[in-house]
């Protein structure tokens, strides 16, 4: 986000991410920018899908594929130099499908670090066996 981009008062609230372990952490590069100078939304979407699949794969204990993007909300732009952290959490598991929430935060201004929530999404994955067929998700425990 450039210095002259308007930001809602809530976006400036500091968030501590100290207690949480991200599924994925990436620094976008200049090649990831859109013509407006912000990180391309498609890049963020692909990273969200990867982060969500990490949680789904762990829960399924197998390969998973994306079945649906249930919701996707961009709250703030992401800039080159931001440290982008993707946090994923399984919210439900059915017989063969797993729904995952992914929250995306950026850490910017390293001298006086601020963490901001920039994106949130919900995705559904399907567990597959080694032949690529749907498989039952093991019970937790």
The CATH number of whichever domain residue 87 belongs to comes to 3.10.129.10
Q: Specify whether the CB–CB gap between 115 and 104 falls below 8 A.
A: no
Is 98 among the domain residues? yes
Is 28 among the domain residues? yes
Is 1 among the domain residues? no
Rg (the chain; Cα; Å): 16
Q: Which residue has the tokens 């649906």?
A: 68
Give the count of beta carbons closer than 10 Å to the beta carbon of residue 32.
18
Q: Specify whether the CB–CB gap between 88 and 102 falls below 8 A.
A: yes
pLDDT of 17: 59
Q: Which H or E element spans position 45?
A: helix 41-60
pTM of the model: 0.85
**Domain coverage including residue 119:** 10-128
Is 72 among the domain residues? yes
Is 136 among the domain residues? no
Q: Specify whether the CB–CB gap between 100 and 87 falls below 8 A.
A: no
pLDDT of 109: 85
Is 134 among the domain residues? no
Is 73 among the domain residues? yes
Q: Which two tokens stand for residue 111?
A: 């001298």
Number of domains in the chain: 1
pLDDT mean values, one per 10 residues, the chain (141 residues): 43 57 95 94 98 98 98 96 96 98 94 92 98 95 69
């Amino acid at each position: 986000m450039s210095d002259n981009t308007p930001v809602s008062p809530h976006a400036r609230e500091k968030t501590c991410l100290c207690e949480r372990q991200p599924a994925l952490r990436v620094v976008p590069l200049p090649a990831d920018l859109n013509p407006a100078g912000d990180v391309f939304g498609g890049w963020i979407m692909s990273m969200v899908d990867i982060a969500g699949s990490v949680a789904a794969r762990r829960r399924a204990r197998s390969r998973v594929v994306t079945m649906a993007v249930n919701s996707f909300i961009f709250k703030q732009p992401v800039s080159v130099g931001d440290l982008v952290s993707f946090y994923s959490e399984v919210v439900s598991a059915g017989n063969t499908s797993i729904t995952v929430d992914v929250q995306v935060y950026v850490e910017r201004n390293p001298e006086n670090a601020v963490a901001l929530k920039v994106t949130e999404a919900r995705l559904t994955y399907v567990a597959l066996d080694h032949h690529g067929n749907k498989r039952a998700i093991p019970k937790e425990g």
